[in-house]
Amino acid sequence: MAFNHTTASIPGPDDITRLELDNGLVILARRNPNSPSVTMRGFLHVGGLFDQDEKLGLSDFVAASLMRGTHQRDFQRLHDDLESVGAGMGFSGATHTTGFSARSLAEDAELLLAILAECLRSPSFPPDQIERLRAQILTGLSLRAQNTGEMAALTFDQLVYPNHPYSRPEEGHPETIQAIKNSDLKAFHQRHYGPRSMVIAVVGSLEPPRAVDMVRRVFEDWENPEQPSLPDLPNWEPLAETVSQRLDIPGKSQSDLVVGTAGPARREPDFIPASVGNNILGQFGLMGRIGEVVREQAGLAYYAYSSISGGLGPGPWSVRAGVNPDNEEKAVELIHRELERFSDELVHPDELSDTQSNFIGRLPLSLESNAGVAGALLNLERYQLGLDYYRRYPGMIKAVTREDVLQAARQYLRPDRMAVAVAGPARTQAVP
Amino acid sequence: MSSDITKLQLDNGLTVLLKEIHTAPLISHWLWYRVGSRDEVPGLTGTSHWVEHMQFKGTPQFPAGDLDKAISRDGGIWNAMTYIDWTTYFETMPAPKIDLALRLEADRMHNSVFDPQEVASERTVIISERQGNENSPLFRLDEEIQAAAFRVHPYHHEVIGDMADLETIQRDDLYSHYRRFYNPANAVLTLAGDFDSADMLARIRDLFGAVPAADTPARLSRPEPPQKGQRRIVLEGPGETTFVKACYHAPRAVDADFLPFSVLESLLTGPSSLNLFGGGISNKTSRLYRALVEAELAVSVGGSLQATIDPFLFSVTATVHPERDAEDIISVLDAEIERALQEPPTNGELARAVKQARALFAYGSESITNQAFWLGFVEMFADYEWFLNYLDRLAAVTPEDVQRVAQTYLVPQNRVLGIYLPTGSQEDHS
């Protein structure tokens, strides 16, 4: 009775369907016989990298406009059709890509896909809806200005990536959102949206051949021959020294801080050792070494952890913590000491083997839901990892050595070349 | 929603619920205690949550720091939550590794150390957690509203506790709270996943059966007297955004009015999901979204109805449009509420609410962790039947039930109105 095919839950070439349509759209599908629902997730290579500085946020704004009405359904009709059957759908813009996520009961999969295709192919950008959306985005930006965590991260990006697109928040600024016209939205959509860069993963109760047919029906006649590729990322210049900045947000109780720099892109060969190292530094157990020192021993913070983004470019590798404003310097000092140790010494053999078994052991749990499997399939395509990646993964993790981890730490995390960004209530003391 | 579960009680009073699910090589293990912030008196607010933190600080068998490493090493996830009514601990692990979770939870039901030094370092961690919450306008508004809504009932204070108490609570306060509420008769153990129930039960008897029995502790009972007249809170703070939060005293989860109320919620602010894992759906066709957001009075609106032991609150939260003010929101809200009082919903609207609930349960069922959550969660305020019959009972709700419930609860006398007024952002965006 017990489940005894451990590998059967791990997607591989024998149970992932992958197919590319003539127009370039890539379809991935996998069946989950235990689920009464279906999830569709995907992305297009359309992102904030296309935005001009004076209209920063345009790509994001377009993504948010897609469900505001299409040439087939107005806003209320579109959402009524989805919500009446308990279905959900959303689009979100990022720097390199625009993503989508949708789900419904199995019986409503055709409807879900029809609406998804309408939103992507024929949004109507109704002026009243766009102005409503603009007010919502602007309110979001006022709330961002009051959010110590978000403002610390934004300040951090400006410190780490001067003269690089990663210094820019893809959601824009109030003045750039005000500068975007309805005609800009339409032109951006017309120029950049197309099947050539699109990937969709369908996971759930549908048989893959049926899923492929359904996707084909609504997307195979989509063409946009003029669709440009994303601009190349400029090279990132490593920091020459440690740089710090503190932002006052009056009236708050707690400060948030981010310490770090740029890490490897996902496809760099040292991403895996860096990611294993990051787990030891600020994830494993209760937030790794950082959590142990900053939270457990010093009692300075409710949260203190490190993360490595590893996207399509050199995204941040950083430590974050929320602390009392009086403890900012102390926390930064403790984090600095851990970064020194991390780039000076080999990790302990037990730390490495613990993290290796953690990475391998948690794989089935991350693939439990339809959305989890869909996300995993998309990563295969986004980073060109190969359909057998998750089957090869345990071997790749086991092969990482302590020296590999130290090498990656030294390559990226140099304690004398860090960005330190803090946002919190105004203080009288000196900047950390 | 399969009824295929095993439910029984051990000799020491521990209630056990098991549900075999052989879809993935995973097991989720939850241990629930009948203690929450509602069991705290002034001077000791925040004790239940702090005790939950201390449960991660070690026993002689599993010293601090070993626990989290052991779980992570096996590829598991774990966490704990303290709510107004209950406290719960969970581990979801690869199936062959679940014994660790069983040993750990059986041990820390009785043997946690509460080392004074660990208490001291956790004090500043929890104060930091509270200060992080205080950064959010909506946390501060919630805190004021709950205090105004519950003059007598201990739902008065936030789970995290008041700052004054977080500064003064002592180690022995925490330890005696632990000793009083952490015992088998006051706990419910739930597991879902890839196991054989008979084998699992034998192992549970070995480990948890050995924990000494104790009396079931009495819970604090201070019923809230009916509210007689609207209460209004105005809170000021930094920022540029106004929030309006209207709260109505709502029925408890086992009340016959709860299901009609959830239909009412679905009509007004969209269906909310009781799943802890699995998420919800949008509310753009709900009545209040149309009346407030589509009319450009608010930029967002949401509702919340929670399944609680005693009557808690149904809330409507609106983020006010930058060119509007709180009074604009309140007058339109009142008009929509009046409509719900005057007209019963259509049968179509009721059928829609049932379909939405069915979809939400389907999404939640993908997660074994969520399935084990449900087994225990309902035991905190009802029993598993409540969950099994949910959709049938929802389908039986009539338009007249919904109108009657609106007329009973959604009246100004039963409302606490909270307004967050921004004083402006003074920071320099240089």
Q: Are B283 and B270 in contact (CB under 8 A)?
A: yes
- Residue B137 CA to residue B422 CA, distance in Å, equals 9
Mark whether A77 and A161 lie in a shared domain: yes
Q: Considering the domain boundaries, does residue A382 fall inside one?
A: yes
Q: Considering the domain boundaries, does residue B246 fall inside one?
A: yes
Helix (H, G, I), strand (E, B) or coil at B366: coil
Single-letter amino acid code for the residue at A200:
I
Q: Are A289 and A280 in contact (CB under 8 A)?
A: yes
Would you state the pLDDT for residue A6?
Answer: 44
User: What percentage of residues in chain B have a pLDDT greater than 70?
Assistant: 98
- Domain-ending residue, one of B174, B208, B242: B208
- Domain-ending residue, one of A187, A219, A251: A219
Question: For residue A111, how many other CB atoms are within 10 A of its CB?
Answer: 15
CB contact under 8 A, B321 and A284: no
Mark whether B152 and B258 lie in a shared domain: no
**Tens-digit pLDDT profile for residues A88-137:** 999 999 999 999 999 999 999 999 999 999 999 999 999 999 999 999 99
- Residue A381 CA to residue A71 CA, distance in Å, equals 31
ipTM: 0.92
B195: closest chain A residue by CA? A2
Q: Considering the domain boundaries, does residue B306 fall inside one?
A: yes
- Residue A64 CA to residue A170 CA, distance in Å, equals 12
Residues of A in contact with B100 (CB under 8 A): none
**Tens-digit pLDDT profile for residues A277-295:** 999 999 999 899 999 999 9
How many structural domains are present in chain B? 2
pTM: 0.94
pLDDT for A2 beyond 50: no
Would you state the pLDDT for residue A218?
Answer: 98
Mark whether A191 and A320 lie in a shared domain: no
Q: Considering the domain boundaries, does residue B429 fall inside one?
A: no
Mark whether B241 and B204 lie in a shared domain: no
Residue range of the domain that includes B359: 231-422
For chain A, give the mean pLDDT.
95
Q: Considering the domain boundaries, does residue B226 fall inside one?
A: no
Q: Considering the domain boundaries, does residue A7 fall inside one?
A: no
A311-350 residues touching B, CB cutoff 8 A = 322-324
- Residue A112 CA to residue A17 CA, distance in Å, equals 20
Cite the beta strand spans of A170-298 per DSSP E.
Answer: 198-204, 243-248, 255-262
Q: Considering the domain boundaries, does residue B217 fall inside one?
A: no
CB contact under 8 A, B427 and A323: no
* Of A105, A253, A365, Cβ closest to residue B134: A253
Tell me, what DSSP letter sits at residue B22?
-
Mark whether B268 and B159 lie in a shared domain: no
Mark whether B50 and B192 lie in a shared domain: yes
Residue range of the domain that includes A383: 243-424
**H helix intervals, A122-234:** 127-145, 148-160, 174-179, 182-192, 208-219
Mark whether B18 and B94 lie in a shared domain: yes
CB contact under 8 A, B360 and A83: no
A280: closest chain B residue by CA? B69
* Of A104, A254, A365, Cβ closest to residue B128: A254
Residues of B in contact with A296 (CB under 8 A): 64-65, 121
CB contact under 8 A, B427 and A322: no
Q: Considering the domain boundaries, does residue A227 fall inside one?
A: no
The residue assigned the tokens 């449900």 is B374
How many structural domains are present in chain A? 2
- Residue A87 CA to residue A80 CA, distance in Å, equals 10
Question: For residue A173, how many other CB atoms are within 10 A of its CB?
Answer: 18
**Tens-digit pLDDT profile for residues A232-251:** 899 999 999 999 999 999 99
CB contact under 8 A, A2 and B26: no
Mark whether A186 and A51 lie in a shared domain: yes
Q: Are B399 and B350 in contact (CB under 8 A)?
A: yes
Q: In this complex, is the C-beta atom of B290 within 8 Å of any C-beta atom belonging to chain A? A: yes
Question: For residue B329, how many other CB atoms are within 10 A of its CB?
Answer: 26
Main-chain phi, psi angles of A93, to 5 degrees: -90, 150
Mark whether B264 and B140 lie in a shared domain: no
Single-letter amino acid code for the residue at A315:
G
* Closest Cα in chain B, distance from residue A22 (Å): 33
**Tens-digit pLDDT profile for residues A132-189:** 999 999 999 999 999 999 999 999 999 999 999 999 999 999 999 999 999 999 999 9
- Residue B326 CA to residue B421 CA, distance in Å, equals 9
B94-153 residues touching A, CB cutoff 8 A = 94-95, 97, 120-132, 134-135, 137
Q: In this complex, is the C-beta atom of B363 within 8 Å of any C-beta atom belonging to chain A? A: yes
Mark whether B94 and B241 lie in a shared domain: no
CB contact under 8 A, B299 and A142: no
Between chain A and chain B, how many beta carbons pairs sit less than 8 Å apart? 222
- Residue B100 CA to residue A80 CA, distance in Å, equals 47
Would you state the pLDDT for residue A105?
Answer: 95
Mark whether A179 and A38 lie in a shared domain: yes
Mark whether B261 and B409 lie in a shared domain: yes
- Domain-ending residue, one of A219, A252, A287: A219
* Closest Cα in chain B, distance from residue A231 (Å): 29
Q: Considering the domain boundaries, does residue B392 fall inside one?
A: yes
* Of A87, A303, A367, Cβ closest to residue B359: A87
Helix (H, G, I), strand (E, B) or coil at A243: strand
- Residue A301 CA to residue A319 CA, distance in Å, equals 13
Q: Considering the domain boundaries, does residue B219 fall inside one?
A: no
Q: In this complex, is the C-beta atom of A298 within 8 Å of any C-beta atom belonging to chain B? A: yes
Mark whether A336 and A383 lie in a shared domain: yes
* Of B92, B121, B271, Cβ closest to residue A365: B92
**Tens-digit pLDDT profile for residues B94-133:** 999 999 999 999 999 999 999 999 999 999 999 999 999 9
- At residue A302's C-alpha, the angle toward residues A299 and A304, to 5°, is 90
Q: Considering the domain boundaries, does residue A236 fall inside one?
A: no
Residues of A in contact with B323 (CB under 8 A): 135
Mark whether B108 and B238 lie in a shared domain: no
* Of A1, A296, A322, Cβ closest to residue B196: A1
Q: Are B142 and B245 in contact (CB under 8 A)?
A: yes
Tell me, what DSSP letter sits at residue B255?
S
Mark whether B290 and B196 lie in a shared domain: no
Helix (H, G, I), strand (E, B) or coil at B345: coil
- Residue B75 CA to residue B95 CA, distance in Å, equals 10
* Closest Cα in chain B, distance from residue A150 (Å): 12
Q: Which two structure tokens, joined as six digits, stand for B220?
A: 């604090």
Mark whether A121 and A207 lie in a shared domain: yes
- Residue B62 CA to residue B46 CA, distance in Å, equals 25
CB contact under 8 A, B299 and A303: no
Mark whether A129 and A272 lie in a shared domain: no
Residues of B in contact with A105 (CB under 8 A): 358-359, 362
Mark whether A393 and A251 lie in a shared domain: yes
Single-letter amino acid code for the residue at B294:
E
- Residue A369 CA to residue A204 CA, distance in Å, equals 9
Would you state the pLDDT for residue A428?
Answer: 64
- At residue B396's C-alpha, the angle toward residues B391 and B402, to 5°, is 105
DSSP lists the bridge partners of residue B235 as B420
Mark whether A252 and A206 lie in a shared domain: no
**Which pairing describes strands A419-424 and A243-248: parallel, antiparallel, or unpaired?**
parallel
Mark whether B81 and B168 lie in a shared domain: yes
Q: Are A71 and A122 in contact (CB under 8 A)?
A: yes
Main-chain phi, psi angles of B313, to 5 degrees: -125, 140
CATH code of the domain covering residue A190: 3.30.830.10
CATH code of the domain covering residue B377: 3.30.830.10
Give the Å distances, CA to CA, from A246 to A152, A153, A424.
Answer: 8, 11, 8
Give the Å distances, CA to CA, from B176 to B47, B113, B370.
Answer: 10, 12, 31
Helix (H, G, I), strand (E, B) or coil at B27: strand
Main-chain phi, psi angles of B17, to 5 degrees: -125, 130
Q: Are A295 and A286 in contact (CB under 8 A)?
A: yes
Residues of B in contact with A350 (CB under 8 A): none
Look at A22-36, A67-81, B275-289, B410-424 and tell me which has the smallest mean pLDDT: B275-289
Would you state the pLDDT for residue B3?
Answer: 59
Q: Residue A345: left (phi > 0), alpha (psi -120 to 50), or beta?
A: beta
* Of B195, B352, B425, Cβ closest to residue A145: B425
CB contact under 8 A, B132 and A302: yes
- CA max distance for chain B: 67
* Of B284, B366, B426, Cβ closest to residue A368: B366
Question: For residue A143, how many other CB atoms are within 10 A of its CB?
Answer: 17
Q: In this complex, is the C-beta atom of A84 within 8 Å of any C-beta atom belonging to chain B? A: yes
Q: Which residues contact A217 (CB under 8 A, 6 or more apart)?
A: none
Q: Considering the domain boundaries, does residue A36 fall inside one?
A: yes
CB contact under 8 A, B284 and A79: yes
Distance of CA A16 to the CA centre of its chain: 23
H/E run at residue A65: helix A58-65
- At residue A299's C-alpha, the angle toward residues A295 and A304, to 5°, is 25
Residues of A in contact with B239 (CB under 8 A): 142-143, 146
Assign B64 a pLDDT band (cuts: 50, 70, 90).
Answer: confident
Mark whether A38 and A184 lie in a shared domain: yes
Mark whether A211 and A265 lie in a shared domain: no
Of the residues A1, A3, A142, the best mutation for testing chain B's interface (the one with the most B CB atoms within 10 Å of its CB) is A3
Residues of A in contact with B423 (CB under 8 A): 251
* Of B134, B359, B423, Cβ closest to residue A86: B359
Would you state the pLDDT for residue A8?
Answer: 57
Mark whether A23 and A141 lie in a shared domain: yes
**Which pairing describes strands B26-33 and B87-94: parallel, antiparallel, or unpaired?**
antiparallel
Would you state the pLDDT for residue B263?
Answer: 95
Mark whether B110 and B155 lie in a shared domain: yes
CB contact under 8 A, A361 and B94: yes
Q: Considering the domain boundaries, does residue A432 fall inside one?
A: no
CB contact under 8 A, B68 and A286: yes
Assign A429 a pLDDT band (cuts: 50, 70, 90).
Answer: low
Q: Considering the domain boundaries, does residue A4 fall inside one?
A: no
Q: In this complex, is the C-beta atom of B239 within 8 Å of any C-beta atom belonging to chain A? A: yes
* Closest Cα in chain A, distance from residue B133 (Å): 9
What interhelical angle do B116-134 and B137-149 show, nearest 10? Answer: 100
Would you state the pLDDT for residue A432?
Answer: 45
- State the number of CA atoms in the 13 A half-sphere of A97 facing the CB: 19
Q: Considering the domain boundaries, does residue A149 fall inside one?
A: yes
Q: Which two structure tokens, joined as six digits, stand for A107?
A: 């019986």
B250-289 residues touching A, CB cutoff 8 A = 270-271, 279-285
Look at A379-393, B36-50, B146-160, B362-376 and tell me which has the smallest mean pLDDT: B362-376
B54: closest chain A residue by CA? A296
Residues of B in contact with A365 (CB under 8 A): 26, 75-77, 92, 94
**Tens-digit pLDDT profile for residues B165-214:** 999 999 999 999 999 999 999 999 999 999 999 999 999 999 999 999 99
CB contact under 8 A, A369 and B77: no
Q: Which residues contact B317 (CB under 8 A, 6 or more apart)?
A: B138, B243, B244, B245, B301, B302, B303, B304
Question: For residue A349, how many other CB atoms are within 10 A of its CB?
Answer: 10
